[in-house]
Amino acid sequence: MSDPTSPSTRSRADDSETTTDDSGAVAGTVAALRAAARRRDSTAVFIAGLAGYLVLYLATVGDLSVIGGGGGPVTVRLAEDLSRAFASTGFFRFGAVAVVSAGPVTYLLSPLNLLLALFLAGLVGANVALTYLGLVQPRACGLESSTGILAGVPALLSGAACCGPTVLLVIGVQASATLVTGFQLLVPVAVVMLVGSLLLVGRQVEPALL
């Protein structure tokens, strides 16, 4: 490819310098993402990763649920006060402004939760797509390729019930003030990990080899 910022335009001798240079890692990742966007297979992987994580995230934070035995037509019920969209209901959680029900599926439309979910899911999708490219290209990848998927896990744990993190109910661990305080870091930690892993996996992809 002809992108002058791509690592492929550099010599192998520059590799060590590239890996220690932040701007180089970013440029390499951007180039890899562009390459991924041009391929149908990696684009499909990106979309699948994004959609899968989006659904998983919305379900774990409680915005999306499936109630067995539910039925009936699609209904939409709006909140009276749409400013609830900006009301904090927990750590990186915001109020919903509509309840959308379709058969057994209920979705609480919280615009800010959805934006955050799309941002996280986009990062996960990008990680998955680049990991995929790293695997299909001739050059072997290191173990860090898998970190892209794992990096999205902390945010999945950030779902909270009215009082206390839901995941603790599932695993039976008792909450403490410290633990609950720690839960407010899960989303930022996930973002940092996702960006970090994206840079790691991005620099491993050689767009020229695709």
Partner 1 sequence: MERPVTRRTVLGSLGATVLAGCTDSGTGGRDPVDGGSAGRSRGSAVTDGAGPPTTAERLPLPMDPSSVRSEAVSGGPPKDGIPSIDDPKFVSADDAPWLDQGDPVFGLATDGGAKAYPQSILVRHEVCNDVVDGQPVSVTYCPLTGTAMGFERGETTFGVSGRLVNNNLIMYDRGTETWWPQVLATAIPGPWNDSPAMRSLREFRLVWTTWKRWSNRHPGTEVLSRDTGFAKNYNQDPYGSYNPRQGYYSPGSPPMFTSFSDDDRLTPKTVVLGTRTPDGAAAFEKDALRERGLVDGELGEMAVLAVHEPDLDTGYVYRNPEGRRFDYRDGQVIDDSGTAHPPEELPLDRTLAFDAMWFAWSGFYPETTLYV
**Residue closer to partner 1, measured from CB, 12 or 77:** 77
User: Which secondary-structure segment (H or E) carries 192?
Assistant: helix 186-202
Is 180 or 195 the residue whose CB approaches partner 1 more closely? 180
Residue recorded with tokens 């973002």: 191
Closest distance to partner 1 from the beta carbon of 67 (Å): 5
Query: How near is the Cβ of 117 to partner 1 at its closest, in Å?
Result: 16
For position 115 contacting partner 1 by CB under 8 A, the verdict is: no
- Residue 7 CB contacts under 8 Å (≥ 6 apart), including other chains: 15, 18, 24, 27, 28, 31, 203, 206, 207
Q: Which uninterrupted H or E stretch holds 106? A: strand 105-109
**CA–CA gap between residue 7 and residue 54 (Å, rounded):** 31
Q: Is 106 in the site for partner 1 (CB under 8 A)?
A: yes
- Which is nearer to partner 1, 33 or 168 (by Cβ)? 168
Size of the site for partner 1 (CB under 8 A): 42
The smaller minimum CB distance to partner 1, of residues 8 and 89, is found at 89
Residue for token pair 């909270």: 160
Q: Which is nearer to partner 1, 105 or 192 (CB)?
A: 105
Q: Are 137 and 207 in contact (CB under 8 A)?
A: no
Could you tell me the two tokens for 10?
């550099």
Question: Quick one: which segment of 22-30, 35-43, 137-145, 175-183 binds partner 1 (CB under 8 A)?
Answer: 175-183
Residues 6+ apart with CB under 8 A from 148: 124, 126, 127, 128, 130, 131, 194, 197, 198, 201
Establish if 109 lies at the interface with partner 1 (CB under 8 A).
yes
Residues forming the site for partner 1 (CB under 8 A)? 62, 65, 67, 70, 77-81, 84, 87-91, 93, 95-99, 106, 108-110, 160-166, 168-169, 172, 174-177, 180-181, 183
